[in-house]
Chains A and B, each alone.
Chain A
């Protein structure tokens, strides 16, 4: 067992654990954001550089700090390592710069993007971005293309995290899309446009941190924050059948994998469950799904929200209008 300290929280972890995994075990605000790393995909990570952290002490044996910031998702911990994430000004400054880099060629079309509300890049830029951009040139632009008959690719929004490439490599029997060209004109594409037909190809949508890969059966049907995410299951011969059904009223709008607090799916699901089972009768609904309180989706949400509590206290006690307006009383906060 290795002892590692991240932002003054000390934890014991097994040898071979990465700094990011150790930080996730501690949880809370010490967890560095990760746009390209995906714990369920081998070899992912190291590319987006948003998870860069400072290693203030290499190990107990060799206490020298590491000369550069390291990608926490790909750096294994050493015994006695001391890591600074949000306690280091350098890390915060660098992360801001990385967000700026990620956004200069991003179209910022959130108002018309299906991913809005559950987008990692949106969250990241709210946390670490600036209001204005110093970039004044024309952004790179690509045409929207179909890859497979169920998935649409908006290359403009892509941050080249390679997650979908690893997904196709590791989940499907044949990868038929990949990165073409290089540098800032490199793009995700297929050799033959509609060739991505594999049974598990839909998981590429779930792993995509931005709105580059979207579900064609759900596009423009609804905003995610109007939908209730519900745990649901069915018996499926290809996958576990455990999914999140996104519902409004009695209607199932879309099916995704069950995402955990770090935005990663618990289990990958098959295309049949994802694209073809859109009737309520296809599913056994287990109940509402826990999602991050901070997420946009939970603004309209369910699981932990009480009934509008202003109704209750009015019966038991009086609430002054000022109190009501300011929301100073926690109980009456909406």
Chain B
């Protein structure tokens, strides 16, 4: 259960440079794909591999590729979604920073398979220093004939451009990303049509996550069936998990699907247990937008089985007793953490990041933040808890893009599993160790009451 695909050579000194990357077997897949395989062969291998999108939704990558409109005579585009902004997720940053050529390699193979002559890497605005790293890697690839006209002497042309966002979470949503790339306001588009038919500049476009594309090199080299031998069930391959919170060893770990959550949390090889020997209270398993689970439900499913890190196992029990793998941002809370304060913090984020296009999300996220702010500051009322449940339920599923859902799930799940804590906050706000109310003086409290 500790085989790796992506981070095998991460410890090799200088792996960021072309020569070292090449000497560890890098870019072999490009030669294999361009010289020995047809584009359809590559797509077939990706389908066989069962590779699922690593950005959060887990949609099969091969299937996404096959939706690309083949009849259109417009140019096709591949966009790499490197707008990683989910709180708790920092795996793509790690990949691009440490081993950027892995992404370029995957993009060349993918563009070949899709027939795209232009690829874009849309990098999150805050990752300014990564733009330089990527541009350097691209420059090296051009220099060695892996990008540009007639790659490796074939008739294949490919250009890859790096585009920096301006720091909006919403631009990680694929259609908002496309709008932003076109130079417009980053509002998500209404689907259908999907980007595979009408995407960037009205052309067929595929948008894939960094980690997804990084896996393509391995699939081309070793074959899809070899890739499918990693992992468990329909969760094939490995996954980068970015672990943070109250644990001894926060960081990015590559795990093979099927690793148990218990082992991941407590093994010295991974998180190394809860900091300061405290008890586990709750985990957000896949980035801030997935439902939070209390300790008993994250370690074992409601049916009593051992919970594993895989798409299926984490989702077991639906939203009543399960969660989602999401983008792999593993946030751990110890016994001292305040769920109310944390939930308020998350809603604050979604309120700030809502694009404001459609009404439930625009108004609902701010409303939830206000109510949670009140509860956190000791001015909550008993009916506020049900009000929150009701607002979350009305946002969920009624918005243009998934940001509405992402804002509603943390609130709904926190109240589902930790309702007593919310009630405690309403009845005895001063009893919470972490409560903001303890940090406010009387003047500030009075000011809040007057709002």
**What are the residues of chain B within 8 A of A52 when measuring CB–CB?**
398
**What are the residues of chain B within 8 A of A178 when measuring CB–CB?**
185
Which of A24-32, A57-65, A133-141, A207-215 lies on the face that meets chain B? A133-141
Q: How far apart are the CA atoms of A100 and B399 in the complex, in Å?
A: 15
User: CB within 8 A of A184: which of B362, B387, B399?
Assistant: B362
Contact across chains for B394 and A94 when beta carbons are under 8 A apart: yes
Q: How far apart are the CA atoms of A185 and B362 in the complex, in Å?
A: 9
Contact across chains for A184 and B366 when beta carbons are under 8 A apart: yes
Asked if B400 is an interface residue, CB under 8 A from chain A, the answer is yes
**What are the residues of chain A within 8 A of B366 when measuring CB–CB?**
105, 183-184
Asked if A160 is an interface residue, CB under 8 A from chain B, the answer is yes
**What are the residues of chain B within 8 A of A183 when measuring CB–CB?**
351-356, 362, 365-366
Contact with B along A27-66 (1 / 0, CB 8 A): 0000000000000000001111110100000000000000
Asked if A296 is an interface residue, CB under 8 A from chain B, the answer is no
User: CB within 8 A of B394: which of A50, A97, A159?
Assistant: A97
| 5 closest residue pairs by CB, A with B | A97-B394, A186-B356, A101-B363, A46-B190, A183-B354
Q: How far apart are the CA atoms of A102 and B400 in the complex, in Å?
A: 16
Q: How far apart are the CA atoms of A230 and B363 in the complex, in Å?
A: 39
Contact with B along A77-116 (1 / 0, CB 8 A): 0000000000000000010011011101100000000000
The A276-297 residues at the B interface (CB cut-off 8 A) are: none
Q: Distance (Å) between the CB of B57 and the closest chain A CB?
A: 14
Q: How far apart are the CA atoms of A57 and B357 in the complex, in Å?
A: 28
**What are the residues of chain A within 8 A of B168 when measuring CB–CB?**
182
Contact across chains for B358 and A46 when beta carbons are under 8 A apart: yes
Contact across chains for A49 and B359 when beta carbons are under 8 A apart: yes
Asked if A69 is an interface residue, CB under 8 A from chain B, the answer is yes
Asked if A325 is an interface residue, CB under 8 A from chain B, the answer is no
Q: How far apart are the CA atoms of A69 and B398 in the complex, in Å?
A: 7
Q: How far apart are the CA atoms of A181 and B185 in the complex, in Å?
A: 10
Interface residues on B, range: 20 to 34
Contact across chains for A104 and B367 when beta carbons are under 8 A apart: yes
Asked if B370 is an interface residue, CB under 8 A from chain A, the answer is yes
Asked if B451 is an interface residue, CB under 8 A from chain A, the answer is yes
Q: Which chain B residue lies CB-closest to A180?
A: B185
Q: How far apart are the CA atoms of A183 and B351 in the complex, in Å?
A: 7
Classify the secondary structure of B's interface with A: helix
Contact with A along B382-398 (1 / 0, CB 8 A): 00000100000010011
**What are the residues of chain A within 8 A of B387 when measuring CB–CB?**
134
Can you spell out 21 A-B residue pairs with CB atoms less than 8 angstroms apart? A46-B190, A49-B359, A52-B398, A71-B400, A94-B398, A97-B398, A98-B359, A101-B359, A101-B394, A102-B359, A105-B366, A135-B367, A137-B451, A138-B451, A160-B359, A182-B168, A182-B354, A182-B356, A183-B352, A183-B362, A186-B355
Asked if B429 is an interface residue, CB under 8 A from chain A, the answer is no
Q: How far apart are the CA atoms of A65 and B356 in the complex, in Å?
A: 29
**What are the residues of chain B within 8 A of A135 when measuring CB–CB?**
367
The B82-133 residues at the A interface (CB cut-off 8 A) are: none
Interface residues on A, range: 20 to 34
Q: Distance (Å) between the CB of A140 and the closest chain B CB?
A: 8
Asked if A74 is an interface residue, CB under 8 A from chain B, the answer is yes
Q: How far apart are the CA atoms of A182 and B180 in the complex, in Å?
A: 14
**What are the residues of chain B within 8 A of A1 when measuring CB–CB?**
none
Contact across chains for A97 and B190 when beta carbons are under 8 A apart: no
Asked if B364 is an interface residue, CB under 8 A from chain A, the answer is yes
Asked if B251 is an interface residue, CB under 8 A from chain A, the answer is no
Q: How far apart are the CA atoms of A100 and B354 in the complex, in Å?
A: 18
Q: Which chain A residue lies CB-closest to B451?
A: A138
Q: Distance (Å) between the CB of B396 and the closest chain A CB?
A: 9
Q: How far apart are the CA atoms of A176 and B325 in the complex, in Å?
A: 44
Contact across chains for B397 and A69 when beta carbons are under 8 A apart: yes
Q: Which chain A residue lies CB-closest to B355?
A: A182
Contact across chains for A46 and B360 when beta carbons are under 8 A apart: no
Q: Distance (Å) between the CB of A133 and the closest chain B CB?
A: 11
Contact with A along B51-86 (1 / 0, CB 8 A): 000000000000000000000000000000000000
